[in-house]
């Protein structure tokens, strides 16, 4: 993959995750090529990668759009995350090192700094949260697990969830991270797995409540 393709991929991905390219928006190669400062070929390559990451969908007429997630898609993503990240947490606890634990604590301090500002710094929260979960996945030491989780953790739904969190919900997320740190410090895989499961499922309900989906989700589950 060329540097131009990589540059286009990172730029377009950032536009999607930030909401600059909203869900359902048509992705026009010419406009993106101009914005990214590349030709259309690297943009086309980037869109193929984004399609495989489920961030872009292509229609039968070969037009590309930013993926727009249905309620079932959202619920499915969070359910899969709860299973896979819980397993990653269990493995990470069993293999945790003092150095990795220090990095996880530092990421959670970054989260605390972000949410204690007069106006919570959601970007700072997301950056710290991404690092927190990335270190856990790194310590778990499974490339297959990392690959499976890669497309789920970076979905726009994660970005949107955080931007709908109340300050109380941000504090609760930070507190759950503290519990995970306690489990990692004791190398207790079962405890870490249980906390991570509830942590991800609570994040789903925060998303559902913010978008008025809770009752609809419950009806669909019955």
Structural Rg of the chain based on CA atoms: 18
Which of the following CATH numbers is that of domain 3-66: 1.10.10.10, 3.30.365.10, 1.20.120.420, 3.40.50.970? 1.10.10.10
**159: Cβ contacts below 8 Å, ≥ 6 apart:** 17, 18, 19, 126
Cα separation, 143 vs 160, in Å, equals 27
Alpha helices in the chain (DSSP H): 3-18, 29-36, 40-52, 71-95, 98-115, 122-140, 143-153, 156-163, 167-185, 189-210, 214-221
pLDDT score at 165: 74
For residue 2, what pLDDT is reported?
75
Please state the domain extents for the chain: 3-66, 71-221
- Alpha-carbon span 95 to 100, nearest angstrom: 10
Confidence (pTM):
0.73
> What is the three-class DSSP state of 66?
strand
Partner residues linked to 100 by β-bridges = none
pLDDT at 210: 67
Please tell me the distance from the alpha carbon of residue 123 to that of residue 131, in angstroms, as a whole number.
12
Min mean pLDDT across 55-59, 182-186, 194-198 is at 55-59
Q: What is the pLDDT of residues 112-170, one digit of tens each?
A: 999 999 999 988 998 899 899 999 999 999 999 988 887 676 555 666 666 667 788 88
Instruction: Using DSSP, state whether 115 is helix, strand or coil.
Output: helix
Mean pLDDT across the chain, nearest whole number?
Answer: 86
CA–CA dist 194, 201 (Å, integer): 11
State the Cα–Cα distance between residues 28 and 32, nearest whole angstrom: 6
Across residues 190-196, what is the average pLDDT?
98
User: Are residues 106 and 113 in contact, defined by beta-carbon separation less than 8 angstroms?
Assistant: no
- What's the confidence (pLDDT) of residue 54? 77
Give pLDDT, residue 216.
44
Buried/exposed code over 186-205 (b: 16+ C-beta within 10 A; e: otherwise): eebbebbbbbbbebbebbbe
Output 15-19 pairs: Cβ under 8 A, ≥24 positions apart.
16/50, 16/55, 16/56, 16/66, 16/156, 17/154, 17/156, 17/159, 18/159, 19/156, 19/159, 19/160, 19/163
For 71-221, CATH gives 1.20.120.530
Structure tokens at 5: 């393709």
């Amino acid at each position: 993959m060329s540097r131009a393709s990589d540059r286009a991929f990172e730029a377009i991905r950032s536009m999607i995750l930030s909401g600059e390219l909203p869900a359902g928006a048509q992705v026009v190669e010419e406009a993106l090529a101009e914005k990214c400062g590349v030709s259309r070929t690297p943009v086309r390559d980037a869109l193929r990668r984004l399609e495989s990451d489920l961030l872009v969908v292509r229609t039968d007429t070969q037009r590309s759009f930013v993926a727009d997630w249905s309620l079932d898609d959202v619920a499915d993503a969070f359910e899969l995350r709860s299973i896979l990240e819980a397993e990653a947490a269990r493995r990470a606890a069993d293999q945790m090192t003092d150095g990795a634990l220090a990095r996880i604590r530092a990421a959670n301090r970054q989260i605390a700094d972000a949410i204690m500002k007069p106006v919570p710094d959601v970007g700072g929260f997301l950056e710290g949260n991404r690092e927190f979960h990335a270190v856990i996945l790194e310590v778990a030491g499974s490339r297959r697990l990392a690959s499976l989780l890669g497309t789920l953790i970076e979905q726009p739904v994660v970005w949107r969830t955080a931007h709908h969190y109340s300050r109380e919900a941000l504090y609760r997320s930070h507190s759950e991270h503290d519990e995970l740190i306690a489990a990692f410090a004791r190398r207790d895989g079962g405890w870490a797995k249980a906390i991570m499961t509830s942590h991800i499922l609570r994040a789903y309900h925060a998303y559902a409540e913010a978008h008025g989906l809770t009752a609809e989700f419950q009806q669909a589950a019955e």
